[in-house]
Amino acid sequence: MKYMNLKTGLATAILVGGALTLIPVGHEVEAQGIGLRKLDQMLTPTSSTIERGAKVYATQCAQCHGANGQGNGPMAAEFEPAPGGFAAGNYKYGGGPVSIYNAISKGQLGAGTTTTNEAGETVTTPGAKHPAFPTVAYQDRWAVAHYIRSLSPVAKTLTDSAALTKQAEFEAVNGVCNDKVKTTISEKVKPLGEDQITKGKELYAANCASCHGEAGAGDGAAAAALNPPPRNFTQADAKWTNNSSPLGIFKTLANGVAGTSMASYASLPEEERWALTHYVRTFVPDQAKVDSTEDDVLAACRSLSAPAKPPSIPVAMAMKALVEDYGNQRELEISKYGPAIIHKDAQTAVGQNAYTQNCASCHGTAGAGTKAHGPYGAFPPYMYIQVGRLTPAMAGGTTQEFADRSLRGVHATLPDMSAASHLSKAEWKGLHAYVASFDGNGEVITADQLPVNSETEGAEGDAAQPEDGQPSGQEAPAAQPAPAAQPAEKPSAPAQPAAEGGE
């Protein structure tokens, strides 16, 4: 947040009256300031994002990298070295999700090759430059990154460096700096020569001297009537509102200063405001001058690189988008549950009986789901619920966590859920194990497979167990033989999200 004020001010200042000279022409779309929560979602692959990535890959990447990531697309022969073969785990720029996303978003230059010619001279050939795809929506770029990683089992062992992850988090909070914008800002903060200073002097005499004085001493004809008084630019120990750097003065000229008589001069063309900026700095003593630092330039660049605010869409369209995205959001939520930690004493048969009596009417036999269940409500229009398939992933976490999720949310609004709240401790353990035995994706482990010093032991010990008739917690793990309730191995297909209800 250090440069938030500068970013906000510069974005307003430069975008109003002169934006075209700083903003690159085109439709470049960066993931500007998406926030850490959204970044976390982008870093988490789901079946929906991988499917989406496959479609984008087919139109944007397959020509070079091949339909199945073999590196043998129709255009592959035009490149030296050849494009990466993802199916073989050949990730030239790193195989972590951030590494691949950066290669897609920003472009990357390969390492190149070094050879020795006939004269014994060392010759270095630059590596192939992977082009940037900034016009592709950032969500699609993340989706492609996850799809590319899904093409090879090697990717499961590859992660991004701590430095790269930290940079991604920083950009998610602060935005991304476009190199073209940075170059332009870096040029603007430097005076262009005597012609610019002469122009600034003329503008100063016409717009500023009446308050700030001809020599910038804050003693203009109107100064005596102003409170607070106009700034004395020549004062060595002056405390500037936005500092005396070119970016600071430019911001003041564009926005003015609240609570003072310093008005905004955003109506002046941008070139004139820069001319004024550099002329005003001629009054400032050397010991009071502050230069625009690299951090200042980067902060302004990140602000100005942000895409324009998109136009509003109809509410109906927004609701449709939310409904279509529900499955993906549900899958993201389920992915946070972690593996299903089945209690060593859980009896699947007991859980099956509890499921048949309390859950099967909505969730179907063995969690297969139902097309519509209801009606609920005393008066029309009645509510009907479409219930999706249950998978082991939905039983993630301890028995206590599984029970808590089962008793809240949509379940808490259903009149026939009251019986489930009175299940015994043994029934909750068995129900947890039974749901974890359903077909589908999801890791399942037993309590005695956990490390002796695991958090589960400390947080879910016998002392924390509720009495029978209450949702049970996970008892302390112990070195016991694996229970008979251990479910069969599950296929590796991504989990399918349930509809309203869940566990």
Cα(186)–Cα(450) distance, integer angstroms: 56
Q: What 8-state DSSP symbol labels residue 191?
A: -
Domain span(s) for CATH 1.10.760.10 in the chain: 29-174, 187-304
CATH 1.10.760.10 fits 29-174, yes or no: yes
Cα(189)–Cα(246) distance, integer angstroms: 6
Cα(209)–Cα(73) distance, integer angstroms: 67
The two tokens of residue 197 are 């200073």
Cα(461)–Cα(455) distance, integer angstroms: 10
In the chain, the N- to C-terminal Cα span, in Å, equals 40
Q: Is the sign of the CA dihedral 16, 19, 20, 26 positive or negative?
A: negative
Please enumerate in sequence order all residues whose Cβ is within 8 A of that of 317, keeping only pairs 6 or more positions apart, or say none: none
Is residue 257 within 8 Å of residue 13, measured between CB atoms? no
Q: What is the pLDDT of residue 418?
A: 65
Is residue 61 within 8 Å of residue 75, measured between CB atoms? no
Q: Which residue has the tokens 């020795």?
A: 116
Q: What is the pLDDT of residue 80?
A: 66
What is the value of pTM for the model shown?
0.62
Can you give the length of the chain in residues? 503
Q: Is the sign of the CA dihedral 345, 347, 348, 351 positive or negative?
A: negative
In the three-class reduction of DSSP (H, G, I as helix; E, B as strand; rest coil), residue 95 is classed as coil
Q: What is the pLDDT of residue 484?
A: 37
User: Rg of the chain over CA atoms, in angstroms?
Assistant: 32
The two tokens of residue 433 are 């194990």
Q: What is the pLDDT of residue 197?
A: 96
* Superfamily designation of domain 187-304: Cytochrome c-like domain (1.10.760.10)
Q: What pLDDT tens digit does each residue of the chain (503 aa) get? A: 333 343 344 443 333 333 323 333 333 455 567 889 899 999 999 999 999 999 999 999 999 888 888 888 888 777 766 676 788 887 888 899 999 999 998 887 655 566 677 777 776 665 557 888 888 889 999 999 999 999 988 888 899 999 999 999 998 988 888 888 899 999 999 999 999 999 999 999 999 999 999 999 999 999 999 999 999 999 988 888 888 999 999 999 989 999 999 999 999 999 999 999 999 999 999 999 999 988 889 888 887 887 777 788 899 998 998 888 888 888 899 989 999 999 999 999 999 999 999 888 889 889 998 877 777 777 787 778 788 899 999 999 999 999 999 888 777 777 766 666 788 999 999 999 999 999 998 999 998 765 443 333 333 333 233 344 444 333 333 333 333 333 333 333 333 333 333 33
Please enumerate in sequence order all residues whose Cβ is within 8 A of that of 495, keeping only pairs 6 or more positions apart, or say none: 47, 331, 334, 335, 391, 393, 394, 440, 441, 442
Q: What is the pLDDT of residue 106?
A: 84
Q: How far is CA 401 from the centre of its chain?
A: 27
